[in-house]
Structure 1
Amino acid sequence: MTQTSNRLLDELARLMTDAVGATQGVRREVEAMMRSRAERLIEQMDLVHREDFEAMRQLAQTTREDLDTLTTRLAKIEAQLAALSVADATHSRG
């Protein structure tokens, strides 16, 4: 009876081991399918790559800094022009 019980337990253990192996295989297949579908979905969404986004962000930041510099320079030039206009008007009257 113990030999039959041992064989039964061995068979049950082998069956459970096979089931675990099959479950892991199914899990890997499902993960691969989900990854593939997610990649397709992302491609269809026409998203940009991170590197392209970072490059454009850096370009926008540089452009903004240049714009700030040019705005400051323009304000100084306009102030100088206004001062010259006032000086010319004063000089013309006098």
Structure 2
Amino acid sequence: MQADNKIFDDLVKLMNSAAGTIAGVGREAEAGAKARAKEWIGGLDFVSRDEFEAVKAMAAAARDDADALRARIAALEAKAGAGVSTEA
């Protein structure tokens, strides 16, 4: 009976160390894959979220400015048109 317990204990220790090794290999493979993906993506011409949001905000501000200028031009044209007489 004592020999059976020793064999069982050794088997449990072997399985535990195998599980730990497999988990470590999995973590190492995941870290390596992430590093390769970051390296590959880093070589592409992607912009960061912050850069995208900044350009998006600048474009919205430019549209607002353009709309304001269009309204101002329309008002000036209306004012200039009202002052022009139709006499020839």
TM, length-normalised to structure 1: 0.85
1:51-90 matches, cutoff 5 A:
51-85=50-84, 88-89=85-86
Query: How much is the aligned-residue C-alpha RMSD, in angstroms?
Result: 1.2
Distance in 2, matches of 1:41 and 1:84, equals: 65
Q: CA deviation at 1:37?
A: 1.2
Unaligned segments of structure 1, at least 5 residues: none
Number of the residue aligned with 1:11 = 10
Distance in 2, matches of 1:3 and 1:46, equals: 66
Number of the residue aligned with 1:37 = 36
Distance in 2, matches of 1:34 and 1:40, equals: 10
Runs of 4+ residues over 3 Å off in structure 1: none
TM, length-normalised to structure 2: 0.91
Q: Which has the higher helix share?
A: 1
Distance in 1, matches of 2:7 and 2:17, equals: 15
Q: What secondary structure, in the 3-state scheme, does the structure 2 residue paired with 1:46 have?
A: coil
Determine which structure has more spread, i.e. the larger CA radius of gyration: 1
Number of the residue aligned with 1:27 = 26
